[in-house]
Amino acid sequence: MALFAAQRDAHEALLSDAAALQGRSLWQDAGRRFRANKAAMAGVIVLALITLGAIFAPSLSPYTADDLDWMNISAPPSLENGHWFGTDDTGKDLFVLTWMGARVSLTIGVMTTIVALSIGVAYGATAGYVGGRTDDTMMRFVDVLYALPLLFFIIILVTVFGRNIYLVFLAIGCVEWLTMARIVRGQTLSVKQKEYVEAARACGAGPAAIIGRHVLPNVIGPVIVYVTLLVPTNILVESYLSFLGLGVKEPLTSWGVLISRGANSVETAPHQLLIPATFLAITMFCFNFIGDGLRDALDPKDR
Amino acid sequence: MTSYAIRRLLIAAPTLFLIVTLSFFLMHLAPGGPFDDDASLEPEVIANLQAAYDLDKPVAVQYGLYLGKVFRGDFGPSIIYIDRTVTELLTIGLPVSLKLGLSAMTMALVIGGSLGVLAALRQNSSTDYAVMGVAMTGIAVPSFVMAPLMSLLFGVILKVLPVATLEPRGALAEAVPALAPITPYILPVIALALPQIAILARLTRGAMIETLRQNYIRTARAKGLPQRDVVWTHALKAAALPVVSYLGPAAASVVTGSVVIEQIFQLPGMGRFFIQGAINRDYPLVLGIVIVYAVAVILLNLIVDLIYGVLDPKVKVR
C-alpha cells in the first residue's frame, strides 16, 4: 500500500507543480524581450519624463508663457534670474515655451498618428480582406499617392484654410496613412490564407469574427512598430510646417516654431535654436529606439 | 521594355491630371482670394484685377480656362510677382532647384550607399556602430536644424563658405577659384542630403546584411572568390533592389526638403516661389510649381521602376 501512496504523492506533486507553472503568451515573450533591450527601455523612460515635463514643467517656472521680461532679452540660460533655458528675442522665458511646445508637438504627433492609423487600418484591411480586383485598384491608388510630394498638399491646405491646429492634425494624418495601409494589407493578405482561418471558417465563423479574432491580432504587431515610427515622423512634419511659418498659430507654440525663431538668431543667441532642437532630437531618438526595440521584440525571427 | 515605359507614361497622364485638379479646387474652393488683404485697393480696382486674372468667373469656368492654357504650355501670369509670367519665374527657379535636388540625391546615394555597405561588411564592429550612430543622428536632427547650425559654423565662424547668397564668397572660393561657382551650393546640398544619407545608409546596410546571408553568396565564397568579387559582382546587385525602390520616395522628400533649404539659404529656387505663392494665394504660380514638381517626381519614379526591372530578374517588365 505504501508503495502506491508514494506513487500517488509523486503524481500529486507533479500536478501541483504544473498548476503553479504559468504558460507564457507570445505577448509576454515579446514584453520580456523588449524589457531586455536597454536602448528601448531608456527611450521609454526619457519619453515618459518628457511627457511629464510637458504636463507639469511650465508651472515650475516663476514665469508664464505671456511674461515679457524686458530686462532679459535674448538672455542665455541662467539659474539666477529664473530663466533656466534663457529667453527669446521678445524676453519670453524659453523654459516655459519649450515645455509648452512639447505639449503641442507631442499632441500633434499622437493625434495625427491616430488619424493616419484609422484611415490606414480601415483601408488596408479592406483591400487585403476583399482582395482581387478591388485590392489591385486600391493599392494602385496608394502607389500613385506614394510617389507624390504630398507635403505640398498639406502646405496648400494650411495656407488656404488657415492655420488651425485641428486642420494640421487632419492634413498630416490624411497624408501619412499610406505605409500603414500597405502594412495592414500585406498582413491581412497573408493571415487570410492561413490554415487556422480556414478552420475558423469551416467552423462557421463569419467575416467579422475572422477579422476580429484572427486577422487583427496578427496585424497589431507590425502596426504598433510602425506607429512608434510614425509619431516622430509626424512631429517632424509639423516642425517643418511651423518652420515655414505654416504650423500652429500664436498663442500656441511648438518645437518647430521655436526652432524657426531660434534659427533667425542663431548667430547672436544660439541657445534659442539649440534648446528646442535638442528636445526634438531626443524625442526622435527615443521613438526610434522604442520602434527598433519593439520590432526586435515582436518579430524575433528577423534577427 | 519600351512598351512598358510608354504604358507607364500613359498612366502618368491621369495622375498628373488628378494632381492639377485636386490642387486647383483645393485652392479655389476656400473662402477668400489673393486681393483680400490689400485694404488700400478701391473696389473697382479689385474688380478689374479679378477680371484680369479670370477670378470673377465661376470656378468651373476658371478651371476649364486654366486647363486649356496649360495644354498650350502657358501657365498664366503670376499674381504677386507683377508683370512676370509663371513660366518666367519657373525658368529662374527650376535650374536652381534642379541643381540642388540632383546634387543632393547623388550625394545621398553615393555616401549613404557606401556607408551602408561598409557598415554591413563590418557588421557589429566599431565602424558599424559609428555609421549607424551617424545615421541615427541624421534621422533625428532635421535639416532645418542642421542648416542654420552649419551656416553658423562654416559661414559665420570659420568664414569658409558663403551663406544666404549666390555670390561665391568665403575662404574656399578665394583659395580655389575653380570651385568658386559651386561654393554657394555646398552647404544647402549637404543639408538637404544629410537625412537621405542617413536613411540610405540604414537601408543599404540592412539589404546588404540580408544579401550576404544568402546561399549563393556562400557558394561564391566557397568556390574561393575573393571578397572584392563577392561584394561587387554578387552582393551589390541584389542589395541594390530595396535601395533603388526607395529612390522614388527619396525624391519626394528631397523635393519637400528643398523648400525649407531654399528658404534658409535664400536661394531663388522653386520652393521659395511656392511658399510665397501659397501664402499670398498666387494660384497660377502655385499650380505651375506643383505641375513641375509632379512631373519631375513622376519621371523619376518611372526611371526607378525601369532600373528595378533591369536589376531584378524576378520582376517581369511587361
Tens place of pLDDT per residue across chain B (318 aa) = 677 778 777 877 888 888 888 888 888 877 767 776 666 677 777 777 777 777 777 888 888 888 888 888 888 888 888 888 888 888 888 898 988 999 999 999 999 999 999 999 888 889 999 999 889 888 888 888 888 888 888 888 888 888 777 777 777 777 877 777 788 888 899 999 999 999 999 999 989 998 888 898 899 889 888 888 888 888 888 888 888 888 888 888 888 888 889 888 888 888 888 888 888 888 888 888 888 888 888 888 888 888 877 777 666 554
Query: How long a stretch of residues is chain A?
Result: 303
Query: Residue A199 has which C-alpha cell?
Result: 478552420
Residues of B in contact with A146 (CB under 8 A): 248-249
- Taking an 8 Å cut-off on Cβ atoms, the answer to whether A146 and B15 are in contact is no
pLDDT computed for residue A302 by the predictor: 47
Say how many Å lie between the first and final Cα of chain A, rounded: 56
CA dist A299 and A302 (Å) reads 6
Task: Please name the residues between 91 and 110 in chain B that touch chain A, using a CB distance below 8 Å.
Answer: none
Residues of B in contact with A147 (CB under 8 A): 248-249, 252, 297-298, 301
pLDDT computed for residue B36 by the predictor: 67
CA dist A5 and A11 (Å) reads 10
CA dist A156 and B184 (Å) reads 29
User: CB–CB of A65/A94 below 8 Å?
Assistant: no
Q: Please report, as a single letter, which amino acid is at residue B16.
A: L
CA distances from B36 to A157, B13, B272 (A): 18, 35, 22
CA dist A266 and A218 (Å) reads 48
pLDDT computed for residue A303 by the predictor: 42
Chain B contact probe: residue of A163, A244, A257, A284 with most B CBs at under 10 A? A244
> How many angstroms separate the CA of residue A71 from the nearest CA in chain B?
27
Which residue in chain B has the smallest CA separation from A267? B152
- Buried b / exposed e over B47-66, threshold 16 CB at 10 Å, is eebeeebebeeeeeebbeeb
Q: Which residues of chain A carry a pLDDT beneath 50?
A: 302-303
pLDDT computed for residue B318 by the predictor: 46
Query: How long a stretch of residues is chain B?
Result: 318
pLDDT computed for residue B204 by the predictor: 92
Decide: helix, strand or coil at residue B77.
strand
Within 8 A by CB and 6+ apart from B25, the residues are B59, B63
User: Locate cell 515610427: which residue?
Assistant: A229
Q: What are the two backbone dihedrals, phi and then psi, of residue A75, each rounded to the nearest 5 degrees?
A: -75, 145
Which residue in chain B has the smallest CA separation from A238? B142
What DSSP letter does each residue of A82-106 carry, written as one string? S-TT-B-TT--BHHHHHHHHHHHHH
